Amino acid sequence: MKKIHIATALTAFVLAVPLAGCGSNPATEVGSEGGGEVAKGPNGGRLLRDGNFSVEVAIFETGQEPQFRVFPSREGEPVDPKTVQLTMTLKRLGGEVNTFAFKPEGKYLAGQGVVTEPHSFDVEVVALENGKRHVWKYASPEGRTRITAAAAKDGGIGVLTAGPATIGETRELYGTVALDPSARSEIRGQFPGRVVSVTKAVGDYVQRGQLLARIESSESLQVYPVFATVSGVVAERNANPGDVTGDRPLYVIADPARTSVVLNIFPKDLALIQPGMRVEIEAMDGTPVAASRLSDYLPEGNAEAGTALVRAMVPNRAGRLRAGMALRGKVTVNAVTVPLAVRTEAIQSFRDFKVVFANYGEDYEVRMLELGRSTPEWTEVLGGLKPGTPYVAKGSFLIRADIEKSGASHDH
């Protein structure tokens, strides 16, 4: 036996709005007066009444796409569907409007089109029968809840707009902070001689033009000054008073703001990871550090680990990074840009669907998805969501829990 399904959901939200019909009595939804439970007709659908004329609205979806079926009757007796002209308008959250025409098919009027999920809308039914016009309006929300802006903020709910995204495989790379080679400057005496005095120690900050040492020239026996040629921190001091200058620099000055991370690349990833790729640098606890680009592979590799090495520049203006500090990078490979995607963490289970929750003001409503490629960050959407839809990207499990607590129902 075929089964008819009623197009209804959250009972707490169901509200019939009576309108004056052209008959002797106002159009009503049977059983809605006084907040009672919505009445069903003999086919399991929602029963609407205007005087002695009624229609039963159902959604049929056994073995087919969901379709409206409307059964007209008068005083409980079936009315020939060929004598009834009927239209139905659905207004959905977010402004979408669906209009359905109907044509007679056996004992009922068949809606011309698919009733897409979610079956959540404000409904207007208009029927013309025996020269009289009958109008009914009612709300039939499903998978919907309302949360105040303050409560959403306190709950950590975050909203994004659905749109294009780059989806690919993520490779994690591990490495350590190093000074940019160009950030290291060696300071030498102009002429060989004896060191008379030095002014700075390792770790001191110096500015360009500051005095660093005095040298007595071995040829002229005159004392001349040595000044800093760059600003930075003293990384090495290779002379003390009384020493004779040689091949080693007197000072090595480094700019701590010009740092990089040297990342290890395993042989299996050499063909995938190329210079110029974007890399997201983060601390070992996952705290974001910076976004950068991979430079060329270094001539030398890490012999102990059996890896190749690649450098990525990481600004250190705040001075939080130190040479030798462990960091990790994330690189996306085999990347493709898809026209529509959502954050993977946003996806929840609802009935037999994978869903996200659209957000309009303080209202949140389920959107059933057809999904494509997926990574831990992004999942491609093939259907069920329109580009530009605001959706809950963070804290979506709270929305699902609130909807389930509300007692969501759907006769599927």
Q: Are residues 187 and 245 in the same domain?
A: yes
Residue pair 367/355 in contact by the 8 Å Cβ criterion: yes
pLDDT > 90? residue 162: yes
Q: Tell me: the pLDDT tens digits for 362-400?
A: 999 999 999 999 988 899 999 999 999 999 999 999 999
Question: Which carries the bigger pLDDT value, residue 163 or residue 3?
Answer: 163
pLDDT attached to residue 83: 96
Q: Are residues 342 and 373 in the same domain?
A: yes
Q: What angle do CA 231, 191, 246 make, to 5 degrees?
A: 85
Beta bridge partners of 139: 15, 122
| Domain's final residue, options 254, 285, 306 | 254
| Residue 96 in tokens | 């979408």
Closest by CA to 58, choosing from 78, 72, 75, is 72
Mean residue pLDDT across the chain = 88
| Domain's final residue, options 254, 272, 300 | 254
Q: Are residues 133 and 214 in the same domain?
A: no
Rg over alpha carbons for the chain, rounded to the nearest Å, is: 37
When pLDDT is averaged across residues 174-183 and rounded to a whole number, the result is 88
Q: Does the N-terminal peptide bond of residue 299 adopt cis geometry, omega within 30 degrees of 0?
A: no
% helix / strand / coil in the chain, to the nearest 5?
10, 50, 40
pLDDT > 60? residue 103: yes
Q: Are residues 200 and 343 in the same domain?
A: no
Residue pair 411/58 in contact by the 8 Å Cβ criterion: no
- Give the C-alpha separation, 223 to 216, whole Å: 4
* Residue 410 placed within a domain: no
* Residue 122 placed within a domain: yes
| Cα dihedral 220, 221, 227, 229 sign | positive
pLDDT attached to residue 214: 97
pLDDT > 80? residue 56: yes
Q: Tell me: the pLDDT tens digits for 18-44?
A: 333 333 344 555 433 334 578 899 999
* Residue 3 placed within a domain: no
What is the amino acid identity at position 101?
A
Q: Are residues 175 and 296 in the same domain?
A: yes
- Give the predicted TM-score (pTM) of the model: 0.63
Domain that holds residue 41: 11-142
Beta bridge partners of 57: 46, 70
Q: How many CB atoms lie within 10 A of CB 121?
A: 23
| Residue 216 in tokens | 């007595």
Contacts of 366 (CB under 8 A, 6+ apart): 118, 120, 142, 143, 144, 350, 353, 355, 356, 357, 358, 403
Q: What CATH number is associated with residue 348?
A: 2.40.420.20
Residue pair 372/380 in contact by the 8 Å Cβ criterion: yes
- Give the C-alpha separation, 332 to 382, whole Å: 22
Q: How many CB atoms lie within 10 A of CB 257?
A: 17
| Residue 189 in tokens | 């005496």
- Give the C-alpha separation, 309 to 326, whole Å: 14
Q: What CATH number is associated with residue 196?
A: 2.40.50.100
Q: What CATH number is associated with residue 28?
A: 2.60.40.3340
pLDDT attached to residue 406: 72
- Give the C-alpha separation, 119 to 93, whole Å: 11
- Give the C-alpha separation, 140 to 29, whole Å: 12
Closest by CA to 373, choosing from 408, 397, 342, 399, is 342
What is the amino acid identity at position 56?
E
Q: Are residues 266 and 328 in the same domain?
A: yes
First to last CA, the chain: 16
Tally of structural domains, the chain: 4
Q: Are residues 393 and 295 in the same domain?
A: no
What is the amino acid identity at position 165?
A
- Give the C-alpha separation, 337 to 91, whole Å: 33
Q: Are residues 151 and 68 in the same domain?
A: no
Q: Are residues 59 and 118 in the same domain?
A: yes
Q: Are residues 109 and 51 in the same domain?
A: yes
- Give the C-alpha separation, 155 to 152, whole Å: 5
How many CA atoms, within 13 angstroms, populate the side-chain half-sphere of residue 27? 22
Q: Is 79 helix (H, G, I), strand (E, B) or coil?
A: coil
Q: Are residues 159 and 242 in the same domain?
A: no
Closest by CA to 307, choosing from 271, 263, 260, 274, is 263
- The alpha helices in 122-207, defined as continuous H runs, are 149-154
* Residue 106 placed within a domain: yes
Q: Are residues 17 and 154 in the same domain?
A: no
pLDDT > 50? residue 6: no
